Amino acid sequence: MAQTQAEKTETWTKFAATASDFSSAEGFDEVDAMSITRLIEKGNANPKRQSRCTASIRTICMDIAGNPFGSHSSLTAPVATTLESAQKAIAGIATLFNKGGPTVRGLLVPHGRTVVKTADGETVKDDDGNAVKKTQYDDGADFRQTLLDNMHDAAVRLQKAGWDGSEDGLQAIIDGGSN
């Protein structure tokens, strides 16, 4: 049975409060916390975006110990630790993207297969029924989230291919050009 608008609002409010509390904890990555805050603001401003904001917040939190959302990844501890380290290394990328203004936003664009999604995660279609291609990032947070998602996907793929999660293992992959 579909939720009423009041139930959806209550669900979002509880989720946003939990996310805000979790990201406010001492030691939580500052850029991740800012990203979560911005996603909550976007969800509060536009209820149609809440499901996408929820998914993005869950992705940010999925490999963090104590994640309150229960959707932990299937990454082994060493892989998750290395991934978290790599994601922290690019923590400031959103700020740099935004500082670049229209020059960076116009030149640093999604690859040609990326499609526009609705707030519910559905692919947006044009009048002919074709998926609408995403031609730019909304802002630095959107760009950073794409990078975080790509890093996570690569970690999953590499783990499945036998990567042990170590930096030495990554170097061996880089040196060997495999995976």
What pLDDT, in 10s, does the model give residues 125-134?
Answer: 899 999 999 8
State residue 75's pLDDT score. Answer: 79
The residue among 72, 104, 129 that closes a domain is 72
pTM check: above 0.85: no
The residue among 9, 43, 72 that closes a domain is 72
Can you tell me the distance from the alpha carbon of 142 to that of 149, in angstroms, rounded to the nearest whole number?
11
The residue among 20, 46, 72 that closes a domain is 72
Going by C-beta distance under 8 Å and a sequence separation of 6 or more, which residues neighbour residue 141?
A: 35, 38, 39, 94
CB 91 within 8 A of CB 28: no
Is 60 exceeded by the pLDDT of residue 71?
no
What pLDDT, in 10s, does the model give residues 128-160?
Answer: 999 999 899 989 988 998 898 889 889 988 988
Going by C-beta distance under 8 Å and a sequence separation of 6 or more, which residues neighbour residue 62?
A: 69, 71, 72, 73, 152
Domain that residue 115 falls in: 75-179
- One-letter amino acid identity for 91? A
Min mean pLDDT across 10-14, 29-33, 109-113, 115-119 is at: 115-119
